[in-house]
């Protein structure tokens, strides 16, 4: 009986081997089940059964069989982990791999794939680098391609990990190299690399005899990535055309369709909303959960909220924002900002500012950005006072140069000069007290000094000028302004500071009048120098100031022009400003035309009718015109040349040429 059982088992194993080599896994599964019926504890038969289930993509059945027979599946860690990986259970698959007693080569490769799915790229890089280093078989190109994909994701995440320079002899490696350049924001280099990749891919597939349709499908991802590079360079029309062409091909990869559709939505923005609604549906399918990375899914979800905002769908926008926060808590700030913008569009700018203020409570790292967003919404609504209040309650950030400038501008727009003066005064005092270095503040000091000098506050202006002079002690202009400021409230200090000014060179000819009249302290006016004065014949030269005053007086005393026959003893005609026909002595001219003309034949002169008969007038030949432009131009012969055209003047009726 035992011999018969062994004979049947050997026959079934031979049959199982034949079915496996021929790829007939359904029949191989039936044979494996027969073997297990004969020998229930046969580990090899059980292993064959699990492999057949995996080949038939019955991963759930394989996991159930493994769980049902723990003794027979003790050495099937790879098969169990692979089934979990294919069922989109990467966390459980990683636990299964880590629990294996011996980490074989195939388990290492599976672990690298699981880590890539979990987006643990640094750990995945270490595993792949070890595999590539310690393996030598026909799958070297595939492993190198996977390693280059890991490196590209490391660059996208901004990792500083040192990575090796890989080959680019296949179009997959060349494509991944372009993705690495995109991760470094080198879009022009990535564009050139993608164009070379497209050419390499087409040549490689044509050599293998691949049909044109399959070639276009393979080129789809390269073209979409190229369109992204163009979009990031601001060439949106070119990118939009490539996206549209890629979607028109209707590729089988739903992940590629989702990315192209999402990018089209970002290009449309608040325009072509109907098309964006259709595109966003293709980018938010449930089947895309395991086709896209978390970063891609996050961006698509955020764009969906923005589209609901653009289309003024209040309830949907609120629901999408809530879902966004639940799924991606790190996007809470963006969701809050979208809600605030929606409230502002409904005319509730105050509620929007309150919402942003509530969110920033206890979040110092996001306080400034959200407060500035609230200020922008309030200003768009025309509420400048509330915007100023928000800006003044930013703590130490209130004294940033940009915010100080904004506050001064807003206060001056409301004609609140005192408020603007207090802002500048507080900023100067804060920087003097805290001595915080935020870059070059010379512009802030100078603007504050000039503002307070114009406002008649020399003491406050002196504080700003002192800071300017402390930064650049050799600045004589600032020193001079400081002396003038001190002269208005502390003459003694002004006198001591004035000793640091350079001495005047009195030998040179100086325009005193120009110096006195120029507002040099404010630097807002410039007066031309007076012309050089020639020495007078008497021996002593006149001063330049006297010459300038004399010229001005001469211009003021200029007499008006008088008529040629003017007699000062005769009073002028009181009607000289009236038109001639309105004056009292004006008479109409008499009609001096010949009265004999037009009175018929009686009493007319004998030759008068002939003289006025145009048919009997002697003909006169036209004289040649002395103007050469009036002569007819010769016809052009030969090639056409661009020449100047001369327009002939038409003879006016009763006029001259």
Query: Would you say residue 53 lies in a domain?
Result: yes
Residue 224 has pLDDT above 50, yes or no: yes
Write down the pLDDT at residue 614: 46
Query: Would you say residue 322 lies in a domain?
Result: no
Strongest mean pLDDT among 62-76, 424-438, 484-498:
62-76
Query: Would you say residue 495 lies in a domain?
Result: yes
Q: Which of 276-280, 333-337, 460-464, 583-587 comes out lowest in average pLDDT?
A: 460-464
Mark which of 51, 75, 99 sits at the end of a domain.
75
Higher pLDDT, 394 or 171: 171
pLDDT class of 475 with cuts at 50, 70, 90: low
**What value does the mean pLDDT take over residues 18-34?**
90
Write down the pLDDT at residue 203: 93
- Yes or no: say if 349 and 363 are a contact pair by the CB < 8 Å rule: no
Number of Cβ atoms within 10 Å of the Cβ of 185: 9
Write down the pLDDT at residue 77: 92
Residue 627 has pLDDT above 60, yes or no: no
Mark which of 75, 98, 128 sits at the end of a domain.
75
Q: What is the pLDDT of residues 93-123, one digit of tens each?
A: 999 999 988 888 899 999 999 999 999 999 9
Look up the pTM and report it: 0.66
Q: What is the pLDDT of residues 276-322, one digit of tens each?
A: 999 999 999 888 888 899 999 999 999 999 999 988 888 899 999 99
- Yes or no: say if 285 and 258 are a contact pair by the CB < 8 Å rule: yes
The count of domains in the chain is 2
Query: Would you say residue 437 lies in a domain?
Result: yes
Write down the pLDDT at residue 650: 46
Report the chain's C-alpha Rg in angstroms: 47
Mark which of 75, 93, 126 sits at the end of a domain.
75
- Yes or no: say if 184 and 213 are a contact pair by the CB < 8 Å rule: no
Closest CA to 106 of 141, 133, 131: 131
Write down the pLDDT at residue 347: 85
Q: Which of 10-14, 50-54, 265-269, 437-441 comes out lowest in average pLDDT?
A: 437-441
Residue 585 has pLDDT above 70, yes or no: yes
Q: What is the DSSP letter of 253?
A: -
Q: Which of 76-85, 169-178, 557-566 comes out lowest in average pLDDT?
A: 557-566
- Yes or no: say if 262 and 285 are a contact pair by the CB < 8 Å rule: no
Higher pLDDT, 364 or 609: 364
pLDDT class of 612 with cuts at 50, 70, 90: very low
Q: Which long-range contacts (CB under 8 A, 24 or more apart) does 213-222 make?
A: 216/249, 217/249, 217/251, 217/252, 217/253, 220/246, 220/249, 220/251, 220/253, 220/256, 221/175, 221/253, 221/256, 222/171, 222/175, 222/194, 222/197, 222/198
CA geometry: angle at 181 spanning 180 and 182, to 5°?
A: 90
Write down the pLDDT at residue 518: 58
Higher pLDDT, 230 or 503: 230
- CA distance linking residue 344 with residue 375, whole number of Å: 12
Strongest mean pLDDT among 210-214, 480-484, 518-522, 627-631:
210-214
Residue 8 has pLDDT above 80, yes or no: no
> DSSP readout, 544-563?
HHHHHHHHHHHHHTPPPP--
pLDDT class of 588 with cuts at 50, 70, 90: low
Q: What is the pLDDT of residues 418-431, one digit of tens each?
A: 787 788 778 777 87
What are φ and ψ of residue 601, in 5° steps? -80, -25
Write down the pLDDT at residue 85: 95
Q: What is the pLDDT of residues 137-166, one digit of tens each?
A: 888 889 999 999 999 999 988 888 888 888
- Yes or no: say if 302 and 321 are a contact pair by the CB < 8 Å rule: no
Query: Would you say residue 620 lies in a domain?
Result: no
- CA distance linking residue 369 with residue 234, whole number of Å: 25
Q: What share of the chain is helix, strand, coil (3-state, %, to 5)?
A: 65, 0, 35
Domain that residue 442 falls in: 426-502+516-522
pLDDT class of 49 with cuts at 50, 70, 90: very high
Q: Which of 40-44, 324-328, 461-465 comes out lowest in average pLDDT?
A: 461-465
Please state whether 171 falls in left (phi above 0), alpha (psi between -120 and 50) or beta.
alpha
Question: Of all residues in the chain, what percent carry a pLDDT higher than 70?
Answer: 73
CATH for 477: 1.25.40.10
- Yes or no: say if 427 and 404 are a contact pair by the CB < 8 Å rule: yes
Question: Of all residues in the chain, what percent carry a pLDDT higher than 90?
Answer: 34
Write down the pLDDT at residue 471: 64
Query: Would you say residue 630 lies in a domain?
Result: no
- CA distance linking residue 384 with residue 411, whole number of Å: 8
Query: Would you say residue 389 lies in a domain?
Result: no
Dihedral (Cα; 146, 147, 149, 150), 10-degree rounding: 120
- Yes or no: say if 166 and 142 are a contact pair by the CB < 8 Å rule: no
pLDDT class of 647 with cuts at 50, 70, 90: very low
Residue 493 has pLDDT above 80, yes or no: no
**pLDDT mean across residues, the chain:** 79
Write down the pLDDT at residue 589: 56
Query: Would you say residue 484 lies in a domain?
Result: yes
């Amino acid at each position: 009986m035992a011999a018969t059982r062994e004979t049947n088992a050997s026959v079934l194993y031979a049959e199982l081997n034949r079915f496996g080599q021929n790829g007939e896994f359904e029949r191989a599964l039936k044979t494996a089940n027969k073997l297990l019926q004969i020998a229930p504890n046969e580990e090899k038969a059980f292993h064959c059964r699990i492999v057949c289930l995996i080949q038939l993509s019955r991963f759930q059945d394989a996991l159930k069989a493994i769980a049902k027979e723990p003794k027979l599946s003790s050495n099937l860690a790879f098969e169990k982990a692979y089934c979990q990986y294919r069922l989109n259970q990467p966390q459980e698959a990683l636990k299964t791999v880590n629990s294996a007693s011996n980490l074989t080569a195939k388990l290492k490769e599976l672990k690298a794939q699981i880590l890539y799915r979990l987006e643990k790229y640094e750990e995945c890089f270490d595993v792949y680098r070890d595999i590539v280093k310690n393996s030598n078989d026909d799958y070297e190109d595939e492993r190198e391609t996977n390693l280059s994909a890991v490196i590209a994701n490391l660059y996208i995440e901004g990792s500083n990990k040192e990575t090796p320079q890989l080959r680019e002899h296949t179009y997959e490696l060349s494509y991944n190299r372009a993705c690495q350049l995109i991760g470094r924001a080198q879009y022009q280099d990535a564009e050139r690399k993608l164009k070379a990749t497209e050419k390499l891919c087409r040549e490689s597939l044509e050599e293998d005899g691949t049909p044109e349709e399959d070639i276009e499908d393979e080129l789809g991802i390269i073209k979409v990535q190229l369109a992204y590079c163009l979009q990031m360079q601001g060439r949106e029309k070119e990118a939009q055309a490539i996206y549209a062409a890629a979607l028109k091909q209707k590729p089988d990869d739903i992940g590629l369709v989702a990315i192209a559709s999402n990018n089209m939505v970002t290009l449309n923005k608040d325009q072509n909303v109907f098309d964006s609604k259709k595109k966003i549906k293709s980018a938010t399918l449930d089947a895309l959960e395991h086709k896209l990375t978390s970063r891609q899914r996050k961006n698509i979800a955020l764009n969906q909220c923005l589209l609901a905002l653009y289309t003024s769908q209040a309830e949907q926008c609120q629901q999408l924002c809530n879902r966004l926060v639940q799924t991606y808590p790190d996007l809470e700030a963006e969701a809050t900002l979208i809600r605030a913008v929606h409230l502002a569009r409904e005319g509730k700018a105050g509620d929007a500012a309150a919402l942003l203020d509530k969110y920033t409570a206890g979040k110092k790292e996001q306080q400034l950005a959200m407060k500035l967003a609230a200020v922008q919404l309030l200003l768009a609504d025309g509420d400048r006072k509330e915007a100023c209040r928000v800006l003044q309650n930013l703590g130490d950030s209130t004294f940033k140069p940009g915010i100080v400038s904004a506050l001064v501008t807003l206060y001056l727009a409301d004609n609140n000069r005192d408020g603007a003066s207090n802002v500048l005064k507080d900023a100067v005092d804060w920087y003097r007290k805290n001595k915080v270095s935020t870059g070059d503040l010379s512009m802030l000091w100078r603007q504050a000094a000039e503002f307070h000098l114009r406002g008649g506050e020399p003491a406050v202006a002196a504080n700003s000028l002192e800071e300017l002079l402390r930064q650049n002690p050799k600045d004589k202009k600032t020193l001079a302004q400081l002396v003038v400021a001190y002269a208005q409230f502390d003459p003694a200090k002004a006198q001591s500071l004035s000793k640091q000014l350079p001495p005047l060179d009195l030998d040179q000819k100086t325009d005193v009048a120009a110096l006195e009249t120029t507002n040099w302290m404010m630097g807002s006016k410039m007066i031309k120098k007076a012309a050089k004065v020639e020495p007078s014949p008497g021996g002593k030269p006149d001063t330049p100031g006297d010459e300038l005053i004399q010229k001005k007086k001469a211009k003021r005393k200029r007499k008006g022009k008088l008529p040629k026959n003017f007699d000062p003893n005769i009073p002028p005609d009181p009607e000289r400003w009236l038109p001639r026909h309105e004056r009292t002595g004006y008479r109409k001219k008499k009609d001096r035309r010949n009265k004999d003309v037009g009175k018929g034949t009686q009493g007319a002169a004998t030759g008068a009718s002939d003289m006025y008969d145009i048919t009997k007038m002697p003909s006169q030949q036209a004289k040649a015109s002395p103007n050469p432009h009036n002569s007819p131009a010769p016809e052009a012969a030969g090639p056409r040349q661009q020449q100047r055209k001369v327009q002939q003047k038409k003879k006016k009726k009763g006029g001259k040429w």
